Structure 1
Amino acid sequence: MNSKDEIISQWPRFGWDKELSKALGKPVKLAKDQIENLKNSREKTSIWKLVMTDGRESIPIVLKIFKKPLKDKHILEIEMYSKAFHVFNEIMPKLYWLENVNNKEIWMFTEFIQPLRGQIKLAPQHLERIIPLVAEFHAKTFEKRFQKHSHLFGSSLPHFDSDQKSKKNVELIEKTREYLDLAMKDKNLKELVKPKYRAIQKILNKGPVFFPEIFETGQCLIHGDLHVHNICIKNGCDSEDWDLRLIDWESIKYGPCWYDLVVLVELLVDFRSDWQKREEEIRNRCVQVYVQEMKKHGIIFQEEPLKLLKKAYLQRTLEKKLANHLRRSLDGQKSALLKRYLEKVVVWGKELGLL
C-alpha cells in the first residue's frame, strides 16, 4: 500500500471511521486531504500520518502498514502493541486498531505523538530526562522479572546469548577480517585503517563474546534502536516533566541492558562532534543517572557501570557495526562513524584488557 489513493479507497470498505470513533470515544471521520507519508522502506513497511476530525478538533494518528509475509521484526512490533501494551503502556503510544487487510497486509493504527527531534535543540542535559524512562522499561523485565512477561512474545524474539546469535557473530567477525584486508588494499581507506589494523585483528581473535560480564550482570528487554528519532514527547517540550514515549519497536530483543545506553548516549556522542570535547563528562553523568534510576527499581550492578557501558559498546561494534561501516566505505559510501569505531576499539580495547 504505497499511495494516498489506495488508503482512501480501502477506508470505507473496512469501516475505519466507525472503528476509530470507538477507539477515540467520539464520532470522527478521516480528513482525506491531510494524509502524509512519513516513510516507505525497502523492508516492506510504510508509515502514514492521518488526521481524524469531529468537525471541530483534529486528532492525528499513525497508520503503519506491514506487507505479508511478515518478517520476524514486524511480528515483534505487532506483538508489542497487541499483546504487551498493558505492561508497557506508560512508555508507548496507544494502539487504536489492528486489521488484516485482504490477507496481504496488516494495518496498525496508533496514537501520534510528536517526535522529540525537531522540537528542541538536543543538549547533553536532555539525556538526563530520557534515561529514567529507559530504566523504567529495563527494570520491568530485568533478569528473572522477564519470566513474568515472556509469554507475550513468541519465538521471533531474539536473544543475545542464543546459539543462533553466537553463530551469526562468528560469521560477522570473519566478514570484519575480510573487510579490514580489503580496506588495506583500498587507496581511500588504507591510511585510515593501517595504524589500527594489527590491533583490531588481535582483538577479533578473542571473539565472538568479548565480554561475558555484560551478559552476566544483567539482561532484559531492550528497545534495540534507541536513538532520538524514536523518542517522542506526549505533553510538549515546554513541560517541566516530559511525558515521553518510545516508538519503532521492530528491533526489540532480550539482551544486555547497556546496549540501549550505547545507542542513546555513546553513538550520539560519536555523531556529535560538538559534544566530543565533553564526552567523558557526558558519559559519566548519563551512567550515573541510569545507575541511580535502576537502583530505585531494586537493581544494583556488580561491576563498575562505566566499564559495562564501554564493554557493551565494543561488543556491539565488534560483532556487527564495524563490519557494516567498513563494507559501506568499501562500497564508496560515506561513514560518519568508521573513524570513531576504529579509534575507540583500540583505545578501549587496551583499557579493558583485549590488548
Structure 2
Amino acid sequence: MNSLEEIIRCWKQFDWEKKLNNVLGKKVKLVEERIECLKNSREKTSIWKLVLSDGQDIIPIVLKIYKLPLKENHRLEINMYQKAYKIYHEFMPKLYWLEPKVNGNETWMFTECLRPLRGQIKLTPEHLERIIPMVAKFHAITFEQRFLQHANLFDSSLPYFDSEEKMKERTKGVKKAQESLELAMKDPNLRELVEPRYKMIKRILKKGPVFFPEITEGGQCLIHGDLHVHNICCENANVENENWKVSLIDWESAKHYPCWYDLVVLVELLIDFRSDWQKREEEIRRKCVQVYCQEMQKYGITFNEDPLNLLKKAYLQRTLEKKLSSHLQKVLDGGKSSLLKRYLEKIEVWGKELGL
C-alpha cells in the first residue's frame, strides 16, 4: 500500500512540481496537508487526490498508481492515455504526466480532476438526453471500418467481442448459468422466483453462447464498457440552458464491442436500478434510443435493424453470458441481488418478443 509520506517523497524525488509547472504553464506548489487518499490497494491500484496552488487558485489533480505486474485492464487504461488519448482527449480527463518505474515497479499517472455528475444533480431520464450525444460522438470515431484507421493505437490488452478468448468466456458463463439455474431450483430462497421461468430459460441457454449475431452485425466500435453515472463527469451540470461538457473516467473496461453494450449500462441498467423510472421505462428507453440514432446519423451511421431491438438483444446477450450466473450465485451464497428479479423478468418477456 502506498502512503502519504511516500507520495511526498516521490513528488520531490522526481521533481514533478517542475514538470507540472511546464505542463500547466504556471508555477504551482503541492499543498501537502490537502493530499487525500481515494483508494488504496496492495494488489491493484492506489488513487489519490492532490491539490496544487499557484498562490491564488487551487488546481485539484488525480494521481493513479499502477503496480507491477500490470493487470490487463490496468495496461489497457495506461495505453488509452499513452496512445489513444490523441483521438479521445475530448472525452477523457487531461493527462498531465505519466511516470513509469517509480519505486522500481510502479507507473504513476497524473490527470485532471473532474467533477462527477453524481452529487451535482438528481439524475432524471431527461438528463440522459444530454449525455447520449457525447456517447454517440465517441462511438462514431471507431465505428466499424473506421476502427482500422486507429487500430495501431491499441495493443493486445484491448478485448474484442468476437475473439477466441471472449468466446471461451462466453461459453463458460453460459455453462455456469445452467449450473446455477439447477441449483436455484433446489434452493428455498430462489425456487419460487425461478420456477415459473425455469423451463424457458433452460431452453434459451442451450442456444448460446452467441444468442444474437445481429448485435455484432449492427456495428462494433471502441466502447467505454463501464458507462454508469459514477464514471460520468460534467463541469456544468447545474447550467440548464447550456450543452453539457461531458467526460468519462475509469477506462479500464474499454473494449471493441457492439456499440449497444454502452447503452445497456447507461440506460437499461439505470432503469433496472431506479424503480421510480420503471413506470415510464418504455418511453425512456425509446427516447434514449431515438436520441442516440439521431446523433449517430450526424456521423453517417445508420442501423439496418430496429435499434430498440438491438438494445434489447445486447441486454439479453450480456445477461445470459455473464450476469445471470453471477447474480444467481450471489443469492445462492447467501447474499442479495437487487437485479436478479429484473433479469429473470426481462429474459422471459424479451426472450419471447425477440424469438428466443
Residue 285 (1) aligns with residue 284 (2)? no
1:154-165 to 2 correspondence within 5 Å? 154-165=155-166
State the match for 2:243 in structure 1.
241
Paired AA for residue 338 in structure 1: L
Q: What is residue 313 of structure 1 aligned with on the other side?
A: 315
Q: Secondary structure at the match of 1:193?
A: helix
Structure 1 residue aligned with 2:90: 90
Cα-to-partner distance string for 1:205-239 (whole Å, 9 max, x where unaligned): 11010000000110000000000000001345326
- Cα distance in 1 between the residues matched to 2:19 and 2:135: 32
TM-score under structure 2 length normalisation: 0.97
Q: Could you tell me how far 1:41 is from its partner in structure 2? A: 4.8
Counterpart in the other structure of 1:257: 259
The residue number in structure 2 matching 1:218 is 219
Cα distance in 2 for partners of 1:112, 1:264 equals: 22
In 2, Cα distance between equivalents of 1:21 and 1:177: 57
1:130 aligns with 2:131: yes
Give yes or no for contact 2:231–2:249 (8 Å, CA) kept in 1: yes
Report the equivalent of 1:232.
233
- What corresponds to 1:345 in structure 2? 347
**Which residue of 1 is the match for residue 61 of structure 2?**
61
Partner in structure 2 of residue 48 of structure 1: 48
After the TM superposition, which of the residue ranges 36-45 and 216-225 deviates more from structure 2? 36-45
Bigger drift between 70-79 and 270-279 goes to 70-79
1:28 is matched with which residue?
28
The answer on 1:328 being equivalent to 2:330 is yes
Q: How far apart are the structure 2 equivalents of 1:332 and 1:50?
A: 40
Distance 2:191 2:347 in 1: 17
SS at match of 1:200: helix
* C-alpha displacement of 1:51: 0.4
CA distance in 2, matches of 1:43, 1:195: 43
The residue identity in structure 2 corresponding to 1:158 is P
Separation (CA, whole Å) in 1 of partners of 2:42 and 2:215: 33
| Cα distance in 2 for residues equivalent to 1:200 and 1:43 | 38
Decide whether aligned partners of structure 1 residues 257 and 41 sit closer, same or farther in structure 2, where only a CA change above 3 A counts: farther
Q: 1:322 corresponds to which letter in structure 2?
A: L
Deviates more, 1:96-105 or 1:266-275: 96-105
Q: Which residue of 2 aligns with 1:78?
A: 78
CA shift, 1:40, in A, is 3.1
Q: Which residue of structure 2 lines up, in the alignment, with residue 176 of structure 1?
A: 177
Identity of aligned residues (%): 68
Change (3 A) 1:279 1:111: same
Moved more, 191-200 or 208-217: 191-200
Residue of structure 2 in register with 1:300 after alignment: 302
Instruction: Please say if residues 121 and 237 of structure 2, whose CA atoms lie closer than 8 Å, have aligned partners that are also in contact.
Output: no
Moved more, 267-276 or 166-175: 166-175
Question: 1:320-342, CA deviations, whole angstroms, 9 ceiling, x for partnerless residues?
Answer: 01111111111112211011001
SS at the partner of 1:335?
Answer: coil
1:29-71, Cα deviation, whole Å (9 max, x unpaired): 1111111122235761121111011121100001111111001
My pick for the range that moved more, 142-151 or 174-183, is: 174-183
TM-score, normalised via structure 1 length: 0.97
Change (3 A) 1:193 1:270: same
1:142-178 CA-to-partner distances (Å, cap 9, x unmatched) read 0000001110111111000111111111111111111
Structure 2, gaps ≥5 residues long: none
Q: How far apart in 2 are the matches of 1:52 and 1:287?
A: 42
**Letter of the aligned partner of 2:318 in structure 1?**
R
In 2, Cα distance between equivalents of 1:250 and 1:103 = 23
1:274 is paired with a residue whose SS is helix
SS at match of 1:114: coil
Note the C-alpha offset of 1:244: 0.7
Mapped to 1, the partners of 2:283 and 2:311 lie a distance apart of 14
Determine the C-alpha separation between the residues in 1 that align with 2:32 and 2:336: 39
- What is the match of residue 207 of structure 1? 208
Distance 1:97 1:12 in 2: 15
The answer to which of 40-49 and 326-335 deviates more is 40-49
Moved more, 217-226 or 174-183: 174-183
Find the residue that maps to 2:192 and give its secondary structure.
Answer: helix
Please give the secondary structure, in 1, of the residue aligned with 2:91.
coil
3-state SS in 2 of match to 1:332: coil
Quote the RMSD (CA, aligned, Å): 1.1
| Aligned partner letter, 1:148 | Q
The answer on whether the counterparts of 2:131 and 2:246 sit within 8 Å (CA) in structure 1 is yes
Question: What is the letter of the counterpart of residue 352 of structure 2?
Answer: K
Distance in 1, Cα, partners of 2:69 & 2:39: 19
